[in-house]
Amino acid sequence: MLTRRILIALTAAAFIAGAPAFAQDKSIVVSSTTSTQDSGLFGHLLPLFKKKTGIDVKVVSQGTGQALDTGRRGDADVVFVHARGQEEKFVADGFGVKRYPVMYNDFVLIGPKSDPAGVKGTKDIVAALKTIKSKNAAFISRGDKSGTHSAELNLWKVAGIDIAADKGPWYKEIGQGMGAALNTASASNAYVLADRGTWLSFKNRGELDIVVEGDNRLFNQYGVILVNPAKHANVKKSEGQAFIDWIVSPEGQKAIADYKINGQQLFFPNATAQGV
Protein backbone atom coordinates (compact mmCIF):
# COMPACT_ATOMS: atom_id res chain seq x y z
CA MET A 1 0.00 0.00 0.00
CA LEU A 2 1.42 3.29 -1.16
CA THR A 3 0.11 5.38 1.71
CA ARG A 4 1.60 3.06 4.29
CA ARG A 5 5.00 3.24 2.62
CA ILE A 6 4.85 7.04 2.53
CA LEU A 7 3.93 7.07 6.20
CA ILE A 8 6.90 4.89 7.12
CA ALA A 9 9.23 7.07 5.09
CA LEU A 10 7.92 10.23 6.73
CA THR A 11 8.23 8.76 10.22
CA ALA A 12 11.82 7.86 9.44
CA ALA A 13 12.34 11.42 8.26
CA ALA A 14 11.02 12.65 11.60
CA PHE A 15 13.74 10.76 13.40
CA ILE A 16 16.45 11.96 11.06
CA ALA A 17 15.33 15.53 11.70
CA GLY A 18 15.67 14.90 15.41
CA ALA A 19 19.01 13.18 15.16
CA PRO A 20 21.42 16.17 15.16
CA ALA A 21 20.37 17.01 18.72
CA PHE A 22 21.61 13.66 19.90
CA ALA A 23 24.69 13.63 17.70
CA GLN A 24 26.10 16.97 18.89
CA ASP A 25 26.60 16.28 22.54
CA LYS A 26 29.52 18.65 22.95
CA SER A 27 27.60 21.84 22.46
CA ILE A 28 26.46 24.85 24.42
CA VAL A 29 23.65 27.34 23.97
CA VAL A 30 24.62 31.01 24.11
CA SER A 31 21.81 33.53 24.35
CA SER A 32 22.95 36.74 22.80
CA THR A 33 21.70 39.91 21.21
CA THR A 34 20.57 40.62 17.71
CA SER A 35 23.49 42.98 17.15
CA THR A 36 26.18 40.32 17.59
CA GLN A 37 24.25 37.93 15.39
CA ASP A 38 23.16 40.36 12.67
CA SER A 39 26.65 41.85 12.36
CA GLY A 40 28.05 38.41 11.52
CA LEU A 41 30.55 38.36 14.42
CA PHE A 42 29.52 34.90 15.60
CA GLY A 43 29.83 33.55 12.08
CA HIS A 44 33.49 34.61 12.31
CA LEU A 45 34.27 33.53 15.90
CA LEU A 46 32.48 30.22 16.31
CA PRO A 47 34.31 28.19 13.63
CA LEU A 48 37.63 29.27 15.23
CA PHE A 49 36.42 28.18 18.68
CA LYS A 50 35.05 24.92 17.36
CA LYS A 51 38.30 24.14 15.61
CA LYS A 52 40.21 24.65 18.84
CA THR A 53 37.89 22.85 21.29
CA GLY A 54 35.44 20.78 19.26
CA ILE A 55 32.58 22.50 21.06
CA ASP A 56 29.55 23.54 19.02
CA VAL A 57 28.10 26.89 20.03
CA LYS A 58 24.43 27.43 19.29
CA VAL A 59 23.54 31.08 19.36
CA VAL A 60 20.00 32.17 20.12
CA SER A 61 19.82 35.86 19.37
CA GLN A 62 17.24 37.93 21.20
CA GLY A 63 16.93 41.37 22.70
CA THR A 64 19.16 41.89 25.77
CA GLY A 65 16.22 41.64 28.19
CA GLN A 66 14.95 38.42 26.63
CA ALA A 67 18.45 36.99 26.32
CA LEU A 68 19.01 37.47 30.07
CA ASP A 69 15.59 35.94 30.75
CA THR A 70 16.53 32.89 28.69
CA GLY A 71 19.57 32.50 30.94
CA ARG A 72 17.48 33.08 34.05
CA ARG A 73 15.16 30.22 33.01
CA GLY A 74 18.14 27.91 32.51
CA ASP A 75 17.64 27.62 28.77
CA ALA A 76 21.12 28.86 27.91
CA ASP A 77 24.57 28.00 29.26
CA VAL A 78 26.13 31.38 28.60
CA VAL A 79 24.68 34.87 28.09
CA PHE A 80 26.53 37.38 25.92
CA VAL A 81 24.84 40.78 26.05
CA HIS A 82 25.39 44.50 26.30
CA ALA A 83 23.62 46.14 29.25
CA ARG A 84 25.99 46.37 32.15
CA GLY A 85 23.41 47.32 34.77
CA GLN A 86 21.13 44.42 33.92
CA GLU A 87 24.10 42.05 33.71
CA GLU A 88 25.34 43.00 37.16
CA LYS A 89 21.86 42.48 38.58
CA PHE A 90 21.73 39.07 36.85
CA VAL A 91 24.90 38.04 38.68
CA ALA A 92 23.85 39.66 41.97
CA ASP A 93 20.56 37.72 41.87
CA GLY A 94 22.54 34.51 41.64
CA PHE A 95 21.59 33.59 38.08
CA GLY A 96 25.08 34.16 36.73
CA VAL A 97 28.45 33.13 38.09
CA LYS A 98 30.59 36.09 37.08
CA ARG A 99 30.50 38.88 34.51
CA TYR A 100 33.50 39.26 32.20
CA PRO A 101 33.89 42.33 30.02
CA VAL A 102 34.67 41.24 26.46
CA MET A 103 34.60 44.05 23.94
CA TYR A 104 32.84 47.19 22.93
CA ASN A 105 31.50 48.60 19.77
CA ASP A 106 29.93 51.96 19.30
CA PHE A 107 26.61 53.44 18.42
CA VAL A 108 26.24 55.75 15.49
CA LEU A 109 23.48 58.19 14.69
CA ILE A 110 22.06 57.33 11.29
CA GLY A 111 20.10 59.86 9.26
CA PRO A 112 19.07 60.87 5.73
CA LYS A 113 21.86 62.16 3.49
CA SER A 114 19.81 65.35 3.05
CA ASP A 115 20.18 65.84 6.83
CA PRO A 116 16.98 67.88 7.47
CA ALA A 117 18.05 68.69 11.06
CA GLY A 118 21.50 69.84 9.94
CA VAL A 119 23.46 67.82 12.52
CA LYS A 120 26.01 66.23 10.21
CA GLY A 121 29.64 66.85 11.05
CA THR A 122 29.28 67.30 14.80
CA LYS A 123 30.83 64.77 17.16
CA ASP A 124 28.50 65.79 19.97
CA ILE A 125 25.64 63.29 20.09
CA VAL A 126 23.85 65.21 22.84
CA ALA A 127 23.84 68.43 20.85
CA ALA A 128 22.63 66.52 17.79
CA LEU A 129 19.70 65.04 19.67
CA LYS A 130 18.73 68.46 21.03
CA THR A 131 18.69 69.84 17.48
CA ILE A 132 16.59 66.97 16.18
CA LYS A 133 14.10 67.55 18.98
CA SER A 134 13.93 71.30 18.41
CA LYS A 135 13.39 70.84 14.66
CA ASN A 136 10.92 67.97 15.13
CA ALA A 137 12.92 65.91 12.61
CA ALA A 138 11.63 62.34 12.17
CA PHE A 139 13.26 59.89 14.61
CA ILE A 140 12.80 56.12 14.93
CA SER A 141 13.25 54.51 18.35
CA ARG A 142 13.61 50.75 18.91
CA GLY A 143 11.15 51.00 21.80
CA ASP A 144 11.83 47.34 22.72
CA LYS A 145 13.75 47.66 25.99
CA SER A 146 16.87 46.36 24.26
CA GLY A 147 20.43 47.46 25.06
CA THR A 148 20.35 49.91 22.19
CA HIS A 149 17.01 51.31 23.35
CA SER A 150 18.38 51.78 26.88
CA ALA A 151 21.40 53.58 25.46
CA GLU A 152 19.16 55.89 23.41
CA LEU A 153 16.95 56.74 26.40
CA ASN A 154 20.06 57.45 28.43
CA LEU A 155 21.34 59.88 25.79
CA TRP A 156 18.04 61.80 25.80
CA LYS A 157 18.36 62.05 29.56
CA VAL A 158 21.89 63.42 29.28
CA ALA A 159 20.53 65.94 26.77
CA GLY A 160 18.08 67.09 29.41
CA ILE A 161 15.06 65.96 27.45
CA ASP A 162 12.28 63.96 29.07
CA ILE A 163 11.49 62.02 25.92
CA ALA A 164 8.55 60.13 27.48
CA ALA A 165 6.82 63.46 28.09
CA ASP A 166 8.14 65.53 25.18
CA LYS A 167 7.81 63.13 22.30
CA GLY A 168 5.63 64.25 19.43
CA PRO A 169 4.53 62.75 16.13
CA TRP A 170 8.13 63.09 14.93
CA TYR A 171 9.26 60.42 17.43
CA LYS A 172 8.13 56.85 16.63
CA GLU A 173 8.70 53.81 18.83
CA ILE A 174 8.42 50.67 16.70
CA GLY A 175 9.02 47.99 19.34
CA GLN A 176 11.23 45.87 17.08
CA GLY A 177 14.82 44.86 16.48
CA MET A 178 17.71 46.87 15.06
CA GLY A 179 17.23 45.69 11.49
CA ALA A 180 13.54 46.53 11.55
CA ALA A 181 14.29 49.98 12.98
CA LEU A 182 16.80 50.64 10.17
CA ASN A 183 14.31 49.39 7.57
CA THR A 184 11.71 51.79 8.99
CA ALA A 185 14.12 54.71 9.05
CA SER A 186 15.17 53.94 5.48
CA ALA A 187 11.57 53.91 4.35
CA SER A 188 10.65 57.15 6.12
CA ASN A 189 13.96 59.11 5.91
CA ALA A 190 14.26 59.38 9.66
CA TYR A 191 17.12 59.54 12.18
CA VAL A 192 17.84 56.41 14.20
CA LEU A 193 20.43 55.29 16.74
CA ALA A 194 22.12 52.05 15.66
CA ASP A 195 25.08 49.91 16.65
CA ARG A 196 27.86 50.17 14.12
CA GLY A 197 28.04 46.43 13.44
CA THR A 198 24.44 46.12 12.38
CA TRP A 199 24.74 49.31 10.34
CA LEU A 200 27.82 48.06 8.47
CA SER A 201 26.22 44.78 7.52
CA PHE A 202 22.86 46.40 6.78
CA LYS A 203 22.03 46.41 3.08
CA ASN A 204 18.75 48.25 2.65
CA ARG A 205 20.26 51.69 3.35
CA GLY A 206 18.38 53.74 0.81
CA GLU A 207 19.22 57.43 1.50
CA LEU A 208 20.64 56.74 4.97
CA ASP A 209 24.17 57.46 6.13
CA ILE A 210 26.10 58.01 9.35
CA VAL A 211 25.60 61.56 10.63
CA VAL A 212 27.20 61.46 14.09
CA GLU A 213 29.93 59.11 15.38
CA GLY A 214 32.92 58.97 17.64
CA ASP A 215 31.43 60.49 20.83
CA ASN A 216 32.66 58.70 23.98
CA ARG A 217 29.07 58.54 25.17
CA LEU A 218 28.29 56.27 22.19
CA PHE A 219 30.42 53.36 23.42
CA ASN A 220 28.63 50.06 23.96
CA GLN A 221 30.19 47.50 26.30
CA TYR A 222 29.58 43.75 25.94
CA GLY A 223 29.86 41.26 28.78
CA VAL A 224 29.74 37.48 28.98
CA ILE A 225 28.37 35.45 31.91
CA LEU A 226 28.16 31.73 32.69
CA VAL A 227 24.68 30.81 33.87
CA ASN A 228 24.91 29.59 37.47
CA PRO A 229 25.02 25.75 37.57
CA ALA A 230 23.88 25.99 41.19
CA LYS A 231 20.55 27.34 39.92
CA HIS A 232 20.24 25.07 36.92
CA ALA A 233 22.01 21.72 37.10
CA ASN A 234 21.73 21.25 33.33
CA VAL A 235 24.15 24.09 32.62
CA LYS A 236 27.22 22.76 30.83
CA LYS A 237 29.69 24.31 33.19
CA SER A 238 33.03 23.22 31.76
CA GLU A 239 32.11 23.79 28.09
CA GLY A 240 30.48 27.15 28.91
CA GLN A 241 33.48 28.27 30.92
CA ALA A 242 35.77 27.08 28.12
CA PHE A 243 33.95 29.43 25.76
CA ILE A 244 34.27 32.35 28.16
CA ASP A 245 37.93 31.59 28.83
CA TRP A 246 38.64 31.49 25.12
CA ILE A 247 36.81 34.69 24.24
CA VAL A 248 38.63 36.71 26.92
CA SER A 249 41.98 35.06 26.09
CA PRO A 250 44.47 36.88 23.83
CA GLU A 251 43.55 34.48 21.05
CA GLY A 252 39.81 35.15 21.32
CA GLN A 253 40.39 38.89 21.69
CA LYS A 254 42.51 38.91 18.55
CA ALA A 255 39.79 37.02 16.68
CA ILE A 256 37.31 39.76 17.65
CA ALA A 257 39.68 42.49 16.50
CA ASP A 258 40.23 40.66 13.21
CA TYR A 259 36.55 40.72 12.27
CA LYS A 260 36.03 43.41 9.64
CA ILE A 261 33.39 44.38 7.14
CA ASN A 262 34.66 46.31 4.11
CA GLY A 263 37.93 46.80 5.96
CA GLN A 264 36.23 48.34 9.00
CA GLN A 265 36.70 46.81 12.44
CA LEU A 266 33.32 46.35 14.16
CA PHE A 267 34.18 45.32 17.71
CA PHE A 268 37.06 46.40 19.94
CA PRO A 269 38.26 43.80 22.47
CA ASN A 270 38.80 45.10 26.02
CA ALA A 271 38.63 42.07 28.30
CA THR A 272 41.54 43.34 30.34
CA ALA A 273 40.10 46.80 30.91
CA GLN A 274 38.94 47.74 34.41
CA GLY A 275 35.50 48.99 35.32
CA VAL A 276 33.77 48.47 32.01
Partner 1 sequence: MPTDTSALDLILRADPALVGIVRLSLLVSLSAVVLAALIGIPLGALIALTRFPGRNGAIVLLNALMGLPPVVVGLLVYLMLSRSGPLGSWGILFTPQAMIIAQSILVMPIVAALARQTIEDLWEEYRDELAALNVGPVRRIFTLIYDARFSLLTALLAGFGRAAAEVGAVIIVGGNIDGFTRTMTTAIALETSKGDLPLAIGLGMVLISLVIVVNALAWGARRASERYAG
The window from 32-40, 144-152, 163-171, 237-245 that contacts partner 1 (CB under 8 A) reads: 32-40
In the list 63, 96, 177, 240, the residue contacting partner 1 (rule: CB under 8 A) is 177
The residues in 196-255 that bind partner 1, with binding defined as CB under 8 A, are: 198, 201-205, 232, 234
Minimum Å gap between C-beta 235 and partner 1 is: 9
CB 60 within 8 A of CB 29: yes
Closer of 52 and 123 to partner 1 (Cβ) = 52
- In the chain the beta strands, taken as DSSP E runs, fall at 27-33, 56-62, 78-81, 96-112, 139-141, 171-173, 191-195, 208-212, 219-227, 260-261, 264-265, 268-269
In the list 26, 52, 54, 73, the residue contacting partner 1 (rule: CB under 8 A) is 73
Closer of 136 and 188 to partner 1 (Cβ) = 188
Closer of 174 and 257 to partner 1 (Cβ) = 174
Q: Strand 191-195 vs strand 96-112: parallel, antiparallel, or unpaired?
A: antiparallel
Residue 31 CA to residue 12 CA, distance in Å, equals 31
Residue 178 CA to residue 186 CA, distance in Å, equals 12
Residue 171 CA to residue 138 CA, distance in Å, equals 6
Alpha-carbon separation of residue 215 from 26, 27, 219, 261 (angstroms): 42, 39, 8, 21
In the list 36, 86, 183, 228, the residue contacting partner 1 (rule: CB under 8 A) is 183
In the list 137, 140, 182, 256, the residue contacting partner 1 (rule: CB under 8 A) is 182
Decide: is 11 part of the binding site for partner 1 (CB under 8 A).
Answer: yes
In the list 75, 88, 115, 124, the residue contacting partner 1 (rule: CB under 8 A) is 75
What character string, x for contact with partner 1 (CB under 8 A) and - otherwise, covers 33-72?
-x--xx-x-xx------------x-xxxx-----------
Alpha-carbon separation of residue 257 from 4, 21, 61, 105, 267 (angstroms): 56, 32, 21, 11, 6
Decide: is 187 part of the binding site for partner 1 (CB under 8 A).
Answer: no
Radius of gyration of the chain (CA): 21
Number of Cβ within a 10 Å radius of residue 123: 12
In the list 179, 189, 242, 265, the residue contacting partner 1 (rule: CB under 8 A) is 179
Minimum Å gap between C-beta 86 and partner 1 is: 19
Residue 182 CA to residue 248 CA, distance in Å, equals 31
Decide: is 20 part of the binding site for partner 1 (CB under 8 A).
Answer: yes
Closer of 48 and 276 to partner 1 (Cβ) = 48
Contact partners, residue 19, CB within 8 Å, separation at least 6: none
Residues that bind partner 1 (CB under 8 A): 1-3, 7, 10-11, 13-14, 16-18, 20-21, 24, 29, 34, 37-38, 40, 42-43, 56, 58-61, 73-75, 177-180, 182-183, 186, 198, 201-205, 232, 234
